[in-house]
Amino acid sequence: MTEDFDQQPKSSWRNRLFGGLQKTSGKLSENLTGLVTKAKLDDAILDQIEEALIISDLGPATAAQIRETLSKTRFEKNPTDDAVRHIIADEIESILAPVAVPLEIDAFPRPQVILVIGVNGSGKTTTIAKLAHNYIEEDYGVMLAAGDTFRAAAIGQLQNWAERIGVPIIAGKEGGDAASIVYDGVKKCTQDGTDILIVDTAGRLQNKSELMDELAKIRKVLGRLNPAAPHNVILVLDATTGQNALSQIEIFGKVANVTGLVMTKLDGTARGGILVAAAKQFGLPIHAIGIGETMHDLKPFNARELAEAIAGISDIEND
Ligand SMILES: Nc1nc2c(ncn2[C@@H]2O[C@H](COP(=O)(O)OP(=O)(O)OP(=O)(O)O)[C@@H](O)[C@H]2O)c(=O)[nH]1
């Protein structure tokens, strides 16, 4: 756990987002630089731009869409690097806008149960802490449930977070029954009038049948108390894993009825384009993005802002 979780950020979200995505936009720039030098974007140049977009993790489908738009665009003057970048940003925005869906909490029933899944190290626990912090700021009552009973360290880590953010937590022992912890959590929330229960789960993708059994058991137990629960099943993905994140969406999607995604570690990675590939390929809501280790570093994203940050459009012109 980082010691700086509650540290106040030194600059605005926008600045941190643009700064954090500099490696991603830099990689794209590096691949694009020198390509747009001709009066016309001919097929050979378009092929190279398409390849540059694929290398930058945006995915073949996005790259093809951008190529198509570029090939149809009638540029008033000779296409400049900047004009091409703006078209890339527009296309990225059109892909991201439909999936930029904040995680809304319904008024009823209480508690709303959010199941958080993802492989170890994806940033799951930190994301739970950040989400809890954000909901507290919005005046919701929040409780955590330590449903990752596979590792004592995971339980301890969540307990630490709960203490630091000042929210109650339901936890059992290592090797305990995750479903019964979730059951106790819902009952306690109902008794106390708590609005949201955020449940950590074990991210054992290596053993799909165990994971499926465990999630099925959690669902069954939850269903006894509230047929609509869990109201959200959020998959946390680490952007730095690039293409691997896409296979995680596919696999978890099959076993866990994922309702939305959170993508973490977009700061400092050259692979931020993967967010666009995920949006294009799966169309699942992307509720929030993580751009650092403090509690101020998780927010719903703005499709335009993110598109500009990835395309490397200078921040100055937007001020
Ligand atoms: N730079 C950066 N680091 C992050 C972000 N989110 C999480 N981390 C760090 O990533 C590491 C792993 O995060 P955890 O929250 O412990 O991940 P987890 O998925 O719960 O993993 P386990 O604890 O192994 O189950 C920690 O050092 C976090 O501080 C982010 O958005 N940006």
User: What is the per-residue pLDDT across 19-29, written as a single tens digit (0 to 9) for each?
Assistant: 999 999 988 88
264 annotated as a binding-site residue: yes
Of 7-16, 161-170, 273-282, 297-306, the range with the lowest mean pLDDT is: 7-16
pLDDT for 9 equals 84
Q: Does the pLDDT of residue 270 top 50, yes or no?
A: yes
Q: Where are the domains of the chain?
A: 13-99, 112-301
pLDDT-based confidence at 248, cuts 50/70/90?
A: very high
265 annotated as a binding-site residue: yes
CA 119 to ligand 1: nearest atom: 19
Q: Does the pLDDT of residue 220 top 60, yes or no?
A: yes
Q: How far is the CA of 125 from the centre of ligand 1 (A)?
A: 7
Of 6-15, 19-28, 75-84, the range with the lowest mean pLDDT is: 75-84
Q: What is the amino acid identity at position 209?
A: S
| The pair of three-digit structure tokens given for residue 150, joined into one six-digit string | 């596979």
Whether the CB of 122 sits within 6 Å of ligand 1: yes
Whether the CB of 248 sits within 6 Å of ligand 1: no
pLDDT for 33 equals 76
CA-proximal residue: ligand 1, atom 6 (nearest): 123
Q: Does the pLDDT of residue 172 top 50, yes or no?
A: yes
Residue to mutate, 252, 293, 297, ligand 1, most ligand atoms under 8 Å from C-beta: 293
| The pair of three-digit structure tokens given for residue 105, joined into one six-digit string | 């909490």
Cβ neighbour number for residue 317 with a 10 Å cutoff:
8
CATH 3.40.50.300 for domain 112-301, yes or no, is: yes
Whether the CB of 260 sits within 6 Å of ligand 1: no
The packing angle between helices 303-311 and 22-32, to 10°, is 50
CA 289 to ligand 1: nearest atom: 31
Whether the CB of 20 sits within 6 Å of ligand 1: no
pLDDT for 318 equals 45
Model pLDDT for residues 200-218, shown as the tens digit of each residue: 998 777 677 788 888 889 9
| The pair of three-digit structure tokens given for residue 67, joined into one six-digit string | 């190529």
CA 154 to ligand 1: nearest atom: 23
Report the percent of the chain where pLDDT is more than 90: 65
- Whether ipTM > 0.90 holds is yes
125 annotated as a binding-site residue: yes
Q: How far is the CA of 124 from the centre of ligand 1 (A)?
A: 6
190 annotated as a binding-site residue: no
pLDDT for 206 equals 64
pLDDT-based confidence at 315, cuts 50/70/90?
A: low
- Determine whether 22 is exposed, middle or buried from the number of CB atoms within 10 Å of its CB (0-12, 13-18, 19+): middle
Cβ neighbour number for residue 263 with a 10 Å cutoff:
26
253 annotated as a binding-site residue: no
CA 148 to ligand 1: nearest atom: 25
pLDDT for 1 equals 53
pLDDT-based confidence at 317, cuts 50/70/90?
A: very low
Q: Does the pLDDT of residue 153 top 70, yes or no?
A: yes
Q: Does the pLDDT of residue 31 top 80, yes or no?
A: no
Q: Closest Cα to residue 249, out of 221, 293, 216, 286?
A: 286
pLDDT for 202 equals 87
pLDDT for 193 equals 95
CA distance 269 to 273: 10
CA distance 56 to 68: 18
pLDDT for 93 equals 98
Q: Does the pLDDT of residue 319 top 50, yes or no?
A: no
Residue where the block lists tokens 């090939």: 71
Mean pLDDT calculated for residue range 46-63: 93
CA 203 to ligand 1: nearest atom: 25
Q: How far is the CA of 317 from the centre of ligand 1 (A)?
A: 33
Pick the CATH number of 13-99 from 1.20.120.140, 3.40.50.2000, 2.40.50.140, 3.40.600.10: 1.20.120.140
Q: How far is the CA of 75 from the centre of ligand 1 (A)?
A: 44
pTM of the predicted structure, to 2 decimals: 0.93
pLDDT-based confidence at 175, cuts 50/70/90?
A: confident
CA 292 to ligand 1: nearest atom: 32
Residue to mutate, 3, 115, 126, 286, ligand 1, most ligand atoms under 8 Å from C-beta: 126
